[in-house]
Amino acid sequence: MSAPSGRRSAGERAPRRPTAADGVVVVDKPAGWTSHDVVARMRRVAGTRKVGHAGTLDPMATGVLVVGVGRATRLLTYVVGADKEYLATVRLGETTTTEDAEGERTSLSGAGGVTAADVEVAARDLTGPLMQVPSAVSAIKVDGQRAYARVRAGEDVELAARPVVVHELEVLAARPSDVDGVPVLDVDVRVVVSSGTYVRALARDLGVALGVGGHLTALRRTRVGGFTLAQARTLDALAELPDDVPAETLPLADAARAVMPERVLTPQEARALSYGQAIDPVPGGEPPAGPVAAIAPDGSLVALVETRGGRARPVLVLAPA
């Protein structure tokens, strides 16, 4: 007997979805998924193996994960470097092995004497340019191996401090709570940080500054550069697409505009860049410090350019001649 309409019989393979256009998909990552898990699912959704992500989110975290499809994977290096915004909850008075809720408790000193005003002062001191020691369970490589893998193997890992910028650390609420009869303080914060900043490490350092210890209990990324939760789609919603409909992507030009300034080209400039040739810089004013999205007259992304030696030179050509 044939399978009912709309259903596949046992062992029958699902048809491959049409390959999505080169571009970006902003995914609202669910809790419990690794960023690698999301990429694996998106390869099926996008109908191609050429899929990557910009900036790992821990399994506990949710929110904006920028996924590149096709040629957009070449843009991800520039997305990774964008500022990021988070909503987070820090529990003061308790510490864990991983500096978040997934680790084992290492201390429960309590935070009964800590006030909201104390937290505000400590948060101000953790704002601006800082030298931050990353979490020992981060993905930073130590002698070729991820730090978290070394920690899980029982090693003591010490990472060097690195410069980061905490643009904003806003205290939204401070809620007294109780853990095994010990008073703790749950603090909701909004954080805007430079690339490479660890919010878990901020939670740890906030607890250290207040003398009670602390760890992260919730984390939701709300923005990466110009990519926001308003654009994000859940994996469930993406999986509901009919098998014959390609996944919708944000075009390359729009994706580049989300993380860098743009320059609209003349037809002659677009042609030159497509051949990898340098063009004249925009006259007047200081050139941008980083890359610029060079947009053809038809609205497509030709290249990313940087001004060096008095010329605008392509650092990445997306529309070769």
Q: Phi-psi bin for 48: left (phi > 0), alpha (psi -120 to 50), beta?
A: beta
**58 catalytic per annotation:** yes
- The pair of three-digit structure tokens given for residue 57, joined into one six-digit string: 């989110």
- The pair of three-digit structure tokens given for residue 212, joined into one six-digit string: 């009670």
Q: Which of 22, 58, 100, 205 is catalytic?
A: 58
Phi and psi angles of residue 60, each rounded to the nearest 5 degrees, phi first: -65, -30
Closest among 105, 108, 102 to 148, alpha carbons compared: 102
Three-state SS string over the chain comes to CCCCCCCCCCCCCCCCCCCCCCEEEEEEECCCCCHHHHHHHHHHHHCCCCEEEECCCCCCCEEEEEEEEHHHHHHHHHHHCCCEEEEEEEEECEEECCCECCCCEEEECCCCCCCHHHHHHHHHHCCEEEEECCCCCCCCEECCEEHHHHHHCCCCCCCCCEEEEEEEEEEEEEEEEEECCEEEEEEEEEEEECCCCCHHHHHHHHHHHCCCCEEEEEEEEEEECCEEHHHCECHHHHHCCCCCCCCCCECHHHHHHCCCCEEECCHHHHHHHHCCCCECCCCCCCCCCCCEEEECCCCCEEEEEEEECCEEEEEEECCCC
Residues with a catalytic annotation lie at 58
